[in-house]
Amino acid sequence: MKTKALILLSLIAMAAISPILLVQAQSYLAVEEKIVDLAQKAADHTEKLIAIANQEETLQKIQDLNLKEQLENAITLYEEGLSQLELAKEALTTSPDTATDIAVEALQIFRDAIKSLNTIFDTAGIETNYKINENQILSNALARELERITSLREILPTETPQEIVALLDSAQSLIEQANTLVLEDKLAEAKTLYLEARSDISEVYQYLRETAEDSNIWRLAGYCERLQERVRERFRYGREQNVDLTGTLGSLGYQSETAYMNELSNQLQNAQNQQDIQNAIRLCEQISLSVQNVENAVNQEITRQHGQQGGSGSSAGSGGNWAGNGAGGPSMGGGP
């Protein structure tokens, strides 16, 4: 698993932490979907390089330099990567974690193909430009793990053994150290700490799966109730300010506040029905991010209709910090 994570961090050119649940017109990909999407982009780039290699003038240079067999091997790798990518896409709906693993394998294959093709082009004196922003993907990955740590702290029962809590403390410390190393451009050291933190976090998830599911499902119910209340309060504040949100909701694909609240309720119920606590937490995190996007759209409309500058002050006055911190919204600790 460590090897796969290292490969992933070395391959992804850009990544964003976004929710899997769609708010109709606005599409926000989950981490798992994003990785599959990045594998698709790697496949597309490999295909473009192969097309360049097969151009008549370029192919002649490759043949003259006895690199045809190397090109054929790169094409074979590309085809193997495509097979893995299709498997990853199929697994997205049934097993997101499995989809991630397969997509990482596809990324590795495409990386090898791209490396081989670039070697061919360098030897033949053909210019290509494929840059990988490792700093950005590693920073995004570290930010995501900090969000997971925050959510886990909120969901852990009060009777959780100290050694489990210590794992989260350790993981957070490792992530913070890794962030510093990224700023210093020490990516190899940062990746090592990232992997150690991931290992600690995995152990906490394992503890939840084995011993704490009943308690935490109850906490998730309270969390979901508070998430719904957040949105209700925002809509209520808009009505009090005589703000028409019909257009905003319509742009998101909803005919009314009621339609949106019904959809949100269904999504939250799906999260609570998950058998695996890790899946339940993951879905709640994603729903919370989705809700934040709706809140932001509502806040912008309130500001626009009021004609205020920097309207966050007005909206926060009644409803609190509606933008949230991206870490999972309202606290899950303490129950409903």
For residue 78, the model assigns a pLDDT of 93
Task: Choose among 161, 173, 250, 233: nearest CA to 204.
Answer: 161
Q: What is the pLDDT along the chain (336 residues), one digit of tens a residue?
A: 444 444 444 444 333 323 223 332 233 345 677 778 888 888 988 998 999 888 888 888 888 889 899 999 999 999 999 999 999 998 887 777 677 778 878 888 888 898 889 889 888 887 766 545 567 767 877 887 887 788 788 777 777 889 999 999 999 999 999 999 988 888 889 888 988 998 898 888 888 777 755 555 556 677 777 778 888 888 888 888 888 888 888 887 888 888 888 888 888 888 777 777 667 777 777 777 778 778 888 888 888 887 653 444 444 333 333 333 333 344 333 333
For residue 149, the model assigns a pLDDT of 87
For residue 185, the model assigns a pLDDT of 83
Return the percent helix, strand and coil in the chain, to nearest 5.
75, 0, 25
Say what the pTM is: 0.46
For residue 18, the model assigns a pLDDT of 30
Task: Choose among 296, 286, 236: nearest CA to 261.
Answer: 236
Structure tokens at 279: 């899946």
Structure tokens at 284: 């709640």
Give the SS3 label for residue 147: helix
For residue 13, the model assigns a pLDDT of 33
Under 8 Å between Cβ of 316 and 7? no
For residue 26, the model assigns a pLDDT of 31
- Helices 96-124 + 31-53 axis angle, to 10: 20
For residue 96, the model assigns a pLDDT of 73
> In which residue are the tokens 């990518």 written?
85
Under 8 Å between Cβ of 305 and 243? yes
Task: Choose among 111, 126, 117, 133: nearest CA to 58.
Answer: 126
For residue 289, the model assigns a pLDDT of 72
Domain ranges of the chain: 2-6+24-124, 134-211, 213-318
